[in-house]
Amino acid sequence: MKKIVLLILVNLLFSTAIAHGQPVRIAYLQSDIHQLPCWVALEKGFFKKEGVKVEVAGIFKAGPELMSAFAAGALDMGYVGVAPATTAVANKTARVVVLAQVNTEGSAIVVKKDGKVQNIPELVGKIAAVPGHATVQDSLFRRALLKFKTEPDQVKIMVLKPPEMIGALRTDQIDAFIAWEPYPAKAVTMGVGRILASSRDIWKDHPCCVLAADVKFLEMQLEKAKGVVRGHVKAIDFIRQHRDEAIKIGMKYTGMDEASIRMAMENVNYTPVLSVEGEKEYVDFLTKLKYIKVEDVQNFVDRFMRPEFVKEIIKK
């Protein structure tokens, strides 16, 4: 009996040692300037300086895809839109909690530069592209329509990945798109599109991307998670203090030109402080769209968000 207990303890210690030696599997969205804090932290070694080894385990085209990777157990932490994260948790397809904000605002509705559409109601009967259903941009687009007394079913909404949107707009396959930066800015600098409405016009200071962690990982590797958050906060401070260098990092990870990245960043507010009230609005809106069903919004948000992580870091 003593031998069995001893073997169990040895195996437990061995498993724990392996877990502590493994890198944190992290992911982000492809060419999304909202993810700049992640890229800065990787480039400047901020995660490493906090004693955390990080491995990029996935680069995804849209938030729902990234959440599917969480559901499959392939990720420990990830930079993702708060809307797809909320949807996945509410529908019990993934178990994650949100530890920090990444940005607020930073998306825009784009129409053809020389097109006839001059306002939101004129999108009725037109084709508009979103990056995915239940994404931040999908929610914003539907919110914009309703704001101008236009029902979402009056517009043909299709899913298209942001890298394909500008080409589709140029060739008249779509009449409008909503995407995260730098795609709206790139459409403008290419002379293809113009901004019909920025996301701050639709919903000022709306929360967008967040830094999420798998629940099991957080329970097992709390200190690693805290280290990643500390590196994330340092990256946002760096973006604020070293704008030009941050722009160069953005150019490297998106493959886009300086003018597009510089314009895009003017539309994004980087902040690590979680918008709890904004999340409540998302839960209400996603419920109205029937993407999720949450009976107790306050209870859901309390379990889903951990604002104390960033508050503790900022105090120090």
**Cβ of 207: how many Cβ atoms within 10 Å?**
26
Parallel, antiparallel, or unpaired for β 268-270 and 103-105? antiparallel
Annotated domain spans of the chain: 2-104+207-315, 107-202
Which residues, at least 6 apart from 65, have a Cβ–Cβ distance to it below 8 Å? 132
Each residue of 187-206: pLDDT tens digit? 999 999 999 999 999 999 99
Pairing between β-strand 54-60 and β-strand 193-198 as defined by DSSP bridges:
unpaired
Query: How many beta carbons lie within 10 A of that of residue 127, not counting itself?
Result: 17
Q: Which residues pair with 211 in a beta bridge?
A: 79, 100
Instruction: For the chain, count helices (H), then strands (E).
Output: 16, 12
> Collapsing DSSP states into helix, strand and coil, what is residue 179?
strand
pLDDT at 314: 84
How far does the chain reach from its first CA to its final CA, in angstroms?
A: 48
Question: Nearest Cα to 76, choosing from 20, 140, 131, 114?
Answer: 20
The fold for domain 2-104+207-315 equals D-Maltodextrin-Binding Protein; domain 2 (3.40.190)
Partnered with residue 197 across adjacent β-strands are 109
Note whether 2-104+207-315 and 107-202 share their fold.
yes
pTM for this prediction: 0.91
How far apart, in whole angstroms, are the C-alpha atoms of residue 191 and residue 182?
A: 14
Over its C-alpha atoms, the chain yields an Rg (Å, rounded) of 20
Q: Which helix (DSSP H) or strand (DSSP E) does residue 206 occupy?
A: none
Written as one letter, the residue type at 225 is A
Residue ranges for the chain with pLDDT beneath 50: 1-19
**What does the pLDDT look like over 252-265, one tens digit per residue?**
999 999 999 999 99
Report CA 142 to chain centroid distance, whole Å. Answer: 18
Helices 276-288 & 136-147, crossing angle to 10 degrees?
70
Concatenate the DSSP letters of all residues of 68-123 into one string: HHHHTT--SEEEEEHHHHHHHHHTTS--EEEEEE-EEE-EEEEEETT-S--SGGGG
| Cβ–Cβ under 8 Å, residues 103 and 236 | no
Domain 107-202, CATH class in plain words: alpha beta
What pLDDT score was predicted for residue 206? 97
Sort strands 107-112 and 156-159 into parallel, antiparallel or unpaired.
unpaired
Q: For 293, what's the count of Cα atoms within 13 Å in the CB-facing half-sphere?
A: 0
Q: What is the SS3 assignment for 190?
A: coil
